[in-house]
Amino acid sequence: MRRYLFVDDNLEFAENLVEIAGDHGCDCEMAASGAEGIRKVARTRFDAIVTDMRMPGMGGAVLVREIRRVDPGLPAVVLTAHAGDAALEAARSEGLLAVLGKPAPIDRLLTLLGAARRDGLVAVLEDDPALLDNLTEALRTRGFAAVTAGSVLDTDRLAPVRPFAALADLRLPGGPDGEAIRRLGVKFPGIPFVTVTAFPAAAPAGSRAIFGKPFDTAALLDVVERIHAERMTSP
């Protein structure tokens, strides 16, 4: 049975989500504040957390960051009625599974939660916004969350999260070919990376796989699945 935590200062809203998820066979708890949510995460292993973005005291962005210190592998979904909230970018930098509007689209939320994978964060380095969106959405369908960078400098600015793998374009603005991959390897030593490039012959040594653009998305996701399975079965 999967176990979820819902964090929202609107208890009526949280209770409604808990009841719906419970009707689908899930074991759910709720917290009325970020601080209470952190205490519950510290003592219980959840499969995912769903938090409101705007709450008194500790908002959703700060909550996700603090939870990363307690349980780095916990998938997080943020709900918000304010799509333009500046704090959303801070939350996304922590590697969210999704950001959904309020009122929550129940079917979409339950599908995301059912697929969510612990320790399922992927770093995606890509400067084409459309391709980046497609990759992150494709990952999401398999239960993987993403942190993203569109340049060499963005790679340096990635938050102190724990991705288990990276999908990396060979050529990103701000440095020579492969520089973003090199810096990512320094930031996350030993991280397996898959190179996605229009120049496959120039891909760096050490790539777990190389996909020339355009590529087969399903095959790319299969490689990510294998890397994740290896991590989950390693001592």
* pLDDT, position 96: 87
- Residues facing residue 28 across a β-bridge: 4
* pLDDT, position 30: 93
Task: Give the phi and the psi of residue 124 in degrees, each rounded to 5.
Answer: -120, 120
Model confidence at 158, pLDDT cuts 50, 70, 90, reads: confident
* pLDDT, position 182: 93
At 7-22, the pLDDT tens digits run 999 898 999 999 999 8
Model confidence at 1, pLDDT cuts 50, 70, 90, reads: confident
Task: Give the phi and the psi of residue 230 in degrees, each rounded to 5.
Answer: -60, -40
If you ran DSSP here, which 8-state letter would residue 118 be given? T
Does residue 85 register a pLDDT over 70? Answer: no
Global pTM reads 0.89
**Is the pLDDT higher at 90 or at 144?**
144
Distance CA(155)–CA(123), nearest Å, equals 9
Burial 43-64 (b: 16+ CB within 10 A, else e): eeebbbbbbbbbbeebbbbbbb
At 166-215, the pLDDT tens digits run 999 999 999 999 999 999 999 999 999 999 998 888 888 889 999 998 99
Question: Highest mean pLDDT: which of 38-47, 58-67, 198-207?
Answer: 38-47
* pLDDT, position 159: 79
Does residue 82 register a pLDDT over 80? Answer: no
